[in-house]
Each structure stands twice: as C-alpha cells, then as structure tokens.
Amino acid sequence: MEYKTLGNSDLKVSVIALGTWGLGGGSVWSDRDSTPAEAARLLDACLDQGVNYVDTAPVYGTGASEELLGAALRGRRQAFVLQTKCSLNWRGEGGNFHYSRDGYTVNNDTRPAAIVRDVEDSLRRLRTDWLDCLIVHYVCKSFPVEETVEALEGLIRAGKIRAYGLSNSQPADLEAYQRASAGRQGASVVQEFFSILSPFHGRDYFPVCQKHGVSFQTYGVLEEGFLTGPAFLERQFAGTDIRSRIPWVQPRYHEGLRRAFAAWAPLCEAHGCSFAQLVEAWALAQFPNMSLLVGMRKPENVADSARCLALRLSPEELSRMEQTVRDIQVEVLDK
C-alpha cells in the first residue's frame, strides 16, 4: 500500500480508500443489504491490504452505513482514518429540500447548528469520540460560507474533527472556503466525481487543488461497476437503484463500452491485471495528490483494487485508453 498526507493536515492516508455508500443498502443499492459480520470482514480485508482510509456518510442508508461501521470499528478505531460527512440530514429542522427516499425527506443544511448536530449524530452512530475528516456533502450557497467554515474550524478546536473538506462542489467553492479560513487550517480534501468516462470536472478542479495543496479524492472511477468488464452490461437493476440512473445502463452506450473493453484487453494481458485495475491505475495517473475512493462491499474487492498500485502505465497507454472512449464521454454526470 502507498500512503500520502491528506492535504495540509497531519493525516497519513492510504491511496486507496474504502467507500461505503453501498454498505448502507436501501433502495439505492437494491441487490442486497450488508450485515454487521460482513462489515467486520470488510474492515479485516482493509487491514490486510493496508487500507486505513474509510469514508461514509449519514445518508448512506439513512444511518445504516455509519452504524455498521461503528460496530465493525469496535476495538480498532485507532487503526483507521475515519471520514464522514455533514449537511444532508433527515431531522426536519430546515435547510433546502434535497430528496425523498425510503420514507425519509433529506434536506441540505450547512448552517453551523446543523453541522454540529450532524457531527454529534455521526459520533453516536460510529461509536467514536472524534472524526478524522468531515466532508461537507453538498456545498450550499443558501447559507454564508464564512459561517460554515467557522463551524468546521470550531470543531477542529474542540477536538471533534481533525480535518475537513468539501464535495459536490465547484473550484470556486474551494477558493471561497480557503478565503474564509485564512490563517487557519482550511480544507484538506475535495471529494468529486471523476472517471475516464467523465473526467472534465476533475480536470477543472486539479489546478485549484494544486494551488492550495489540497488532496483530490475521486469517487465513481469504476462507474458503479460498468467499467469492471463487459459482463456487467447485461445486469438489470431496480428503478430506484443508482445503477439504473446513470448513462451506461442505456443500450446506446453499450457498443462504445464493448469497443473499449476490446481495446483494453491487450493492455490487461500485458500488465496481468483486470479491467477494474487498469481503469483505477489510469485515474491515479491523472493527478499527483489523488486519493482513490472505491466503493467496496466484499473483502475480495479490497485486494483487487489494491493491486492497481503496482501498475505503471506509459503516457502512450494512458492516452490510448481515453481515446478509445472519447466518443461516449459525458461532460456532466449528476447522480
């Protein structure tokens, strides 16, 4: 495993991070719900592979992901860098409507009182006294960024969190957060969607991250499984499932994806890797301060992703990989 410092914090994190959106189950991940035993085995696999960076959020299964992790972390909390999020809650205490799902109405609220309450709720579900990193799940321009940043910096001073960052945002949002935190710690990481099929937002963000010494954490690099191999294209998902709502489920994209897999197959053979590892290695090569957040629910997934770190693709191979999917890339992908 490789490790890097998370932005300007003192956190040493594995380059591969465990994403636990799927762990929360519910209608968004409709194929199965995880059990406490499965969550524990997943963390066992992370320790085996040196993965110490774990990401979750209150709304992943409306508390389910955090609760499963809280039980699985018992007795080994110190071994992990634990990251969760704030701003999206279902307490009915105000904020902007975000969505209704599984009987809950979720609002986006970045006011100080809401952020503090989010942290208190997460600490309880995760059975811990502190969070290593707190991400603003959806940046909201309805409330003053200065007040949001003051709440985050206050949580650092109180010892409740060690670092913070932002997600589902724009480069200008990072600039605003860093201005508001002038002379203090500031944001350490941005967590944004980035994949070979939708790389544009990430590339717009890279220069601003570089300017401020902020880590870029990519999610969605495997496109919820659609970049793991041609067999995945045959799967069917419930209408509420996230995988039924992204472009690649549409037959009109399948020809382009199959063409890409055919073109990438010789690279996989030459490097002795899977399609998933090839795509993950491509992503890591795009920015030096990259954290690869991979959604995983099975122990074998952890070992598979960790092996991508051994791949060294040439500039020509990296360019050829993207050229193959140029005609099906999308500019904006909002899940």
| CB distance 88 to 136 below 8 Å | no
CA distance 247 to 244: 8
Q: Which residue has the tokens 């003192």?
A: 10
Q: What's residue 132's pLDDT? A: 98
For residue 141, give the H/E element and its range.
none
Q: What's residue 233's pLDDT? A: 81
The pLDDT tens digits of the residues spanning 248-306 come to 888 888 899 999 999 999 999 999 999 999 999 999 999 999 999 998 888 999 999 99
pLDDT for 76 beyond 90: yes
Average pLDDT over residues 161-185: 96
Q: What's residue 332's pLDDT? A: 67
Domains of the chain (ranges plus CATH)? Answer: 3-328 (3.20.20.100)
Distances in Å between the Cα of 49 and the Cα atoms of 40, 43, 120, 240, 290 are 14, 10, 31, 33, 18
Q: What's residue 47's pLDDT? A: 97
Radius of gyration of the chain (CA): 19
Average pLDDT over residues 88-94: 96
Q: What is the mean pLDDT of the chain?
A: 93
pLDDT for 12 beyond 60: yes
Q: What's residue 334's pLDDT? A: 56
The pLDDT tens digits of the residues spanning 124-166 come to 999 999 999 999 999 999 999 999 999 999 999 999 999 999 9
| CB distance 25 to 14 below 8 Å | no
The pLDDT tens digits of the residues spanning 217-257 come to 999 999 988 999 999 888 877 777 778 778 888 888 889 99
Short-list 26, 22, 52, 27, CA closest to 39: 22
CA distance 153 to 218: 24
Q: What's residue 30's pLDDT? A: 58
Strands 88-89 and 104-108, how do they pair?
A: antiparallel
Distances in Å between the Cα of 304 and the Cα atoms of 121, 217, 228 are 33, 19, 11
Distances in Å between the Cα of 329 and the Cα atoms of 176, 221, 233, 262, 323 are 29, 13, 17, 17, 10
Cα–chain center distance at 294: 7
Q: What's residue 121's pLDDT? A: 98
CA distance 272 to 212: 37
The encoded tokens of residue 14 equal: 């594995």
Q: What's residue 232's pLDDT? A: 85
The encoded tokens of residue 41 equal: 């085995």
For residue 267, give the H/E element and its range.
helix 251-271
User: Can you list the positions of beta strands (E) in 64-152?
Assistant: 81-86, 88-89, 96-101, 104-108, 131-136
Q: What's residue 235's pLDDT? A: 81
Average pLDDT over residues 11-15: 98
Of 34-43, 137-146, 191-200, 244-253, the poorest mean pLDDT is in 244-253
Q: What's residue 32's pLDDT? A: 64
Residues 6+ away with beta carbon under 8 Å from 147: 111, 112
Confidence (pTM): 0.94
